A and B are shown apart, each in its own frame.
Chain A
Amino acid sequence: GESVGLHLPTLSVQEGDNSIINCAYSNSASDYFIWYKQESGKGPQFIIDIRSNMDKRQGQRVTVLLNKTVKHLSLQIAATQPGDSAVYFCAENFWGSSGGYNKLIFGAGTRLAVHP
């Protein structure tokens, strides 16, 4: 079935280190992917997105890498800070009914814990 999964449910890092969160997706036809950050008691917050015609995209302290050959995404966070502690989701965009609507397919998430 359709799924977006994550390899590591929990990632612990030291403040200042770089973090890498990985994600596998199942639909080879997917053309758009998004990373979200969700803090306790809040909704998912958009971090960065990437389209399938790219293999890398950079934002402020974050980089997303896309490997379509193995259907793999990663989110790299540079100089991780305590405020980065949250659950991170990758989401795969799915187009339904000949493009009449789109939905996001989320994995279970990876919890990032940043220690001082």
Chain B
Amino acid sequence: DAGVTQSPTHLIKTRGQHVTLRCSPISGHKSVSWYQQVLGQGPQFIFQYYEKEERGRGNFPDRFSARQFPNYSSELNVNALLLGDSALYLCASSSTVQQTAQHFGDGTRLSIL
């Protein structure tokens, strides 16, 4: 069975631009969470979505937004990119919100020039 898939794998943008990252959860998983991992640190929670609704949000500015589609895939959008947004963006899926075992994809490496 396919795990969590993310696209693209790498992306280079310049300051002020906008970016959209995509995630397909494990088949049958209805919850998707997004994390940001800066080099040398552990992942930081950005959002959790379940049944197309935002269920939780971490300490990130409003430039970060996301949505979940009827097939449970998800997009993370970041506007007005800053140099500090350079990071690995990880998507994790789980069966439900109550099912706490989250399984991660390999991420999108975003570099801001």
Q: Which residues of A contact B (CB under 8 A)?
A: 4, 32, 34, 36, 41-46, 49, 89, 91, 93, 96-97, 99-109
Contacts and interface: CB of A to CB of B under 8 A. Distances in A.
Contacts of B58: 103
Looking at chain A's contact residues, is the secondary structure mostly helix, strand, loop, or mixed? strand
Given A41-B106, A42-B106, A100 B100 contact: no
A45 B40 contact: no
| Chain B: number of interface residues, binned into ranges | 20 to 34
A105 B102 CA distance: 12
Interface in B3-58: 4, 33, 35, 40-45, 48, 50, 55-56, 58
B100 A93 contact: yes
Contact of B104 (A43, A99, A100): A43
Interface in B61-94: 90, 92
Given A99-B98, A108-B41, A108-B42, 6 more contacts: A44-B104, A89-B42, A89-B43, A101-B97, A103-B45, A104-B45
Nearest to B45: A103
A14 B42 CA distance: 26
Contact of A108 (B33, B40, B101): B40
Contacts of B105: 43
Nearest to A106: B42
A102 B49 CA distance: 10
A49 B101 contact: yes
A34 B103 CA distance: 11
B43 A44 contact: yes
Nearest to B58: A103
B2 to A, nearest CB: 14
A42, A99, A101, most chain B CB atoms within 10 A: A101
A109 B99 CA distance: 24
A8 to B, nearest CB: 15
Given A89-B42, A107-B42, A108-B40, A102 B48 contact: yes
Nearest to A109: B42
Nearest to A103: B45
